[in-house]
């Protein structure tokens, strides 16, 4: 695994500091927008674990994101908040079990077949919730109360407070990134990266590649479920759209635009897409044309995504400074 360079690490640290102080200066609308960016950043990192490090291109990753949000909505009564000590484990366990079942069938395939089977499972869940009137049908379910975070009757965190929720999500983003870093630096992480590079050779070395891919799939699905839990807490509603192919395609685009196989690039991609969508929508009703132009520009001029921009700038600067001076004639 390629670790971030010193300059990138410094930029990431400055970014975290900027996020930490942003609620003190930003308007409430933009604070709320950044919360959504960070949640999608966690979601995108979970998919990057599959695409960038395990070599599994999933087009149904939103299944775990939306399922977790629905589990939160179902477990929350209309009369009061549910305890986070009950809701969060339920959402994570439900996402993990779904990932285990879907992964058990999916990782036996590869290439286009893997893409199609993950999409098929996600669409099955989409139509289950979309056609189920007891669960709100296409309108979805409202989450009237945010989960309570208390110990012994003492409230530790009030998630109804925008700033409190902001810092909980920020801590979750940092924690998810650190956790994935630890996983990828472990022997397990080395093996799944070996699978991505050459699965046949990794299998020849004696590693049960099916098990490693399945565990990676479950970890990614559980982390996506955690992002779905945070989205349910933040948005207060969960609809079938969160499970659909469009949501899976959006998060896949975030990973590609940010930079596959970097983790932090997935977060950058999430921030860029959400920010530009909001900005372009204010400029014109044809904002999708502008968004398409941005995507094309990144693909053409930033082959390594937004995360590769500092390296490209540094390489360009190095080439210019290392260029020998022109020869003088007549001397």
Terminal-residue alpha carbon distance, the chain: 52
Residue 318 pLDDT: 65
Residue 325 pLDDT: 59
Per-residue exposure over 205-230, b if at least 16 CB sit within 10 Å of its own CB, e if not: eebebeebbbbbbbbbbbbbbbbbbb
Residue 291 pLDDT: 86
Region of residue 145 (phi > 0: left; psi between -120 and 50: alpha; otherwise: beta): beta
Residue 309 pLDDT: 75
Domains of the chain: residue spans and CATH: 6-274 (1.10.3470)
Residue 315 pLDDT: 59
Q: For the chain, give the number of residues.
A: 331
Give me the tens of pLDDT residue by residue for the chain, a chain 331 residues long: 567 777 788 888 999 999 999 999 888 889 999 999 999 999 999 999 999 999 999 999 999 999 999 999 999 988 888 889 999 999 999 999 999 999 999 999 888 999 999 999 999 999 999 998 888 888 889 998 888 887 777 778 888 888 999 999 999 999 999 999 999 999 999 999 999 999 999 999 999 999 999 999 999 999 999 999 999 999 999 999 999 888 998 999 999 999 898 999 999 999 999 999 888 888 888 888 888 888 888 888 887 888 877 666 665 666 666 666 565 555 4
pLDDT tens profile 126-175: 999 999 888 888 888 999 888 888 777 777 888 888 899 999 999 999 99
Q: How far is CA 159 from CA 91, 169, 330, in A?
A: 17, 10, 77
CA distance 97 to 172: 22
- Three-class secondary structure of residue 283 per DSSP: helix
């Amino acid at each position: 695994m390629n670790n971030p360079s010193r300059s990138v690490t410094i930029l990431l640290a400055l970014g975290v500091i900027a996020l930490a102080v942003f609620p003190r200066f930003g308007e409430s609308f933009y604070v709320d927008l950044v919360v959504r960016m960070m949640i999608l950043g966690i979601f995108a990192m979970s998919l990057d674990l599959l695409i960038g490090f395990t070599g599994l291109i999933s087009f149904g990753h939103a299944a775990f994101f939306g399922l977790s949000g629905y589990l939160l909505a179902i477990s929350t009564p209309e009369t009061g908040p549910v305890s986070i000590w009950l809701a969060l484990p339920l959402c994570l366990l439900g996402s993990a079990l779904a990932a285990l079942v879907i992964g058990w069938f999916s990782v036996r395939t590869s290439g286009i077949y893997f893409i199609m089977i993950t999409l098929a499972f996600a669409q099955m869940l989409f139509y289950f919730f979309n056609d189920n009137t007891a669960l709100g049908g296409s309108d979805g379910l409202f989450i009237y109360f945010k989960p309570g975070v208390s110990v012994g009757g003492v409230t530790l965190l009030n998630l109804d407070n925008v700033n409190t929720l902001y810092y909980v999500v920020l801590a979750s983003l940092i924690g998810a990134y650190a956790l994935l870093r630890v996983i990828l630096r472990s022997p397990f992480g080395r093996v799944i990266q070996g699978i991505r590079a050459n699965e046949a050779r990794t299998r020849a070395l004696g590693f049960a590649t099916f098990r490693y891919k399945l565990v990676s799939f479950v970890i990614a699905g559980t982390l996506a479920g955690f992002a779905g839990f945070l989205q349910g807490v933040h948005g207060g509603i969960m609809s079938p759209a969160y499970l659909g192919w469009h949501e899976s395609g959006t998060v896949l685009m975030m990973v590609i635009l940010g930079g596959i196989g970097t983790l932090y690039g997935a977060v950058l991609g999430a921030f860029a897409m959400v920010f530009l969508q909001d900005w372009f929508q204010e400029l014109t009703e044809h904002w999708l044309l502008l968004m398409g132009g941005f995507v094309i520009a990144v693909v053409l001029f930033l082959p390594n995504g937004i995360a590769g921009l500092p390296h490209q700038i540094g390489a360009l600067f190095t080439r210019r400074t290392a260029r020998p001076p022109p020869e003088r004639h007549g001397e």
